[in-house]
Amino acid sequence: MFDKLDDLLVRYQEIEQELLDPNVANDQNNYRKLMKEQAELAPIVEKYTEYKDTQSAIDESLAMLEEESDEEIRELAKEELNSCKQRMETIEGELKILLLPKDPNDDKNVIIEIRGGAGGDEAALFASELYRMYARYAERNHWKVEIMNLNENGIGGFKEVIFMISGKGAYSKLKYESGVHRVQRVPVTESGGRIHTSTATVAIMPEAEEVDVELDLNDCKFDVFRASGNGGQCVNTTDSAVRLTHIPTGIVISCQDEKSQLKNKDKALRILRSKLYELEMQKAHDAEAEERKSQVGTGDRSEKIRTYNFPQGRVTDHRIKLTVHQLEAVMDGELQEIIGNLIAADQAAKLSNLQEE
């Protein structure tokens, strides 16, 4: 590990020197690339510098214990030594996490697809509440939310909603949300007061750039139709809605949220790229899963991952066996505790896999 850290420190110093070169500053593409690499290395270099400083403090305390005969000074040196050793253990753990292979999609925006599952109108209502939960979480992180397609059921529920969350690190936080979300409560549509169980599926996809996916437009069939549902006069009176069919995979995407046919077409293509990219990621995920089992799934949307129990006011994430009794806050977008625990569990699983190898 320390050989790798030394190499990264040398590379960081090289980048610092390169950025001072006027010729590098004139090449904007290269300059941006170096700035990005520097930003990625900075937390590792800072932590490694802290490690070396702590090691120096340990050496100084040991030297003082050997040289000093004054008991008061020796006691101070012992306290400093114990404190530094404890800090060293913490820093080593943090360095191991910083050196874990980085998910190349972590800094990407995300496209989220939520569909009502089992439970009819109640499932659609729950899907709309999940949308609001993620929108509020995005707001708390100062991220932007853009609805790409919406299919309502007439009583405020969403049969399907596809939306993008744009912001630094959005995928790194939200990638663990893919799967089946289950709600247990008395529906507003239930007159007998019985508790029902309904579900909604959530798919989290990193936004795919054109360079990430080879997309042949000859494989795409576009149909236009008149938008339905809520919207302005233009939305409902012109053929602005677009249905995109990707012939090789059979993926069908409808977009009608924009008044412009071109904008709807562009949104449909962005969703398609991300869906195709997700398919490739799923293949890689499945291949890896055959060799090892990860504690925290990030790729299987059929996996039941979480239950929202309204009568008991609790939310349980089944993958890490975490229960929080703050359902109202969670539904209002306070997901930090759940997501933080999921990230920690994923990092622990990866560290365990590295040690086994």
Per-residue pLDDT at 230: 52
**Same domain flag for 35 and 184:** no
Q: Is residue 174 in a domain?
A: yes
| pLDDT of amino acid 201 | 94
Model pLDDT, residue 40:
87
- Per the domain annotation, does 357 fall within a domain? no
d(CA 135, CA 116): 17
Among candidates 36, 6, 31, 11, which has minimal Cα distance to 20?
A: 31
Q: Domain holding 49: CATH number?
A: 1.20.58
How far is Cα 253 from Cα 187, in angstroms, rounded to an integer? 30
Q: How confident is the model at residue 231 (pLDDT cuts 50, 70, 90)?
A: very low
Q: Are residue 37 and residue 177 in the same domain, yes or no?
A: no
Range of the domain at 226: 110-351
191 near 172, Cβ under 8 Å?
no
CATH at residue 325: 3.30.70.1660
Residues 89 and 117 in one domain: no
Q: What are phi and psi of 293, to 5 degrees?
A: -105, 120
Same domain, 210 and 331: yes
3-state SS of the chain is: CHHHHHHHHHHHHHHHHHHCCHHHHHCHHHHHHHHHHHHHHHHHHHHHHHHHHHHHHHHHHHHHHHHCCCHHHHHHHHHHHHHHHHHHHHHHHHHHHHCCCCCCCCCCCEEEEEEECCCHHHHHHHHHHHHHHHHHHHHHCCCEEEEEEEEECCCCCEEEEEEEEECCCHHHHHHHHCEEEEEEECCCCCCCCCCEEEEEEEEEEECCCCCCCCCCHHHEEEEEECCCCCCCHHHHHCCCEEEEEECCCCEEEEECCCCCHHHHHHHHHHHHHHHHHHHHHHHHHHHHHHHCCCCCCCCCCCCEEEEEECCCCEEEECCCCEEECCHHHHHCCCCHHHHHHHHHHHHHHHHHHHHHC
pLDDT higher than threshold 70 for residue 287: no
Is 164 found in the same domain as 39? no
Query: Six-digit token pair at 97?
Result: 């996490």
71 pLDDT band (50/70/90 cuts)? confident
Same domain flag for 142 and 213: yes
Most confident range, picked from 23-27, 188-192, 289-293: 23-27
Q: Are residues 336 and 202 in the same domain?
A: yes
Across 264-291, average pLDDT:
81
- Domain boundary among the residues 48, 71, 98 is at 98
Residue 84 sits in the same domain as residue 115: no
pLDDT confidence of residue 246 = 94
Residue 132: inside a domain? yes
Would you say residue 103 lies in a domain? no
Residue 248 inside a domain? The answer is yes
Whether the predicted pLDDT of 273 surpasses 80: yes
Domain end marker among 65, 98, 131: 98
Query: Would residue 52 count as lying in a domain?
Result: yes
For the chain, what percent of residues have pLDDT higher than 90?
A: 54
Residues 92 and 120 in one domain: no
Asked which of 64, 98, 132 is the last residue of a domain, the reply is 98
pLDDT digits (tens, 9 = 90+) for 6-59: 999 999 999 999 988 888 888 888 888 899 889 889 999 999 999 999 999 999
Percent of the chain with pLDDT over 70: 90
Round the average pLDDT of the chain to a whole number and report it: 87
How many other C-beta atoms lie within 10 A of the C-beta of residue 131? 21
The answer to whether residues 190 and 321 belong to one domain is yes
The contacts of residue 264 (CB under 8 Å, 6+ apart) are 240, 241, 242, 255, 256, 257, 258
Question: Lowest-pLDDT range, 23-32, 55-64, 289-298, 328-337?
Answer: 289-298
The number of distinct structural domains making up the chain is 2
- Average pLDDT of the segment spanning 87-111: 89
| Token code pair at residue 128 | 């709309």
Is residue 77 located within the same domain as residue 172?
no
Query: Which of 50-64, 120-134, 294-308 has the lowest average pLDDT?
Result: 294-308
**Domain match, 92 and 117 both:** no
Q: Is residue 48 part of a domain?
A: yes
Q: Could you give the CA distance from residue 309 to residue 158 in angstroms, rounded to a whole number?
A: 20
List pLDDT tens digits, range 251-268.
999 998 788 889 999 999
pLDDT in the model for residue 260: 86
Residue 104 inside a domain? The answer is no
Which of 76-90, 95-109, 127-141 reaches the highest mean pLDDT? Answer: 127-141
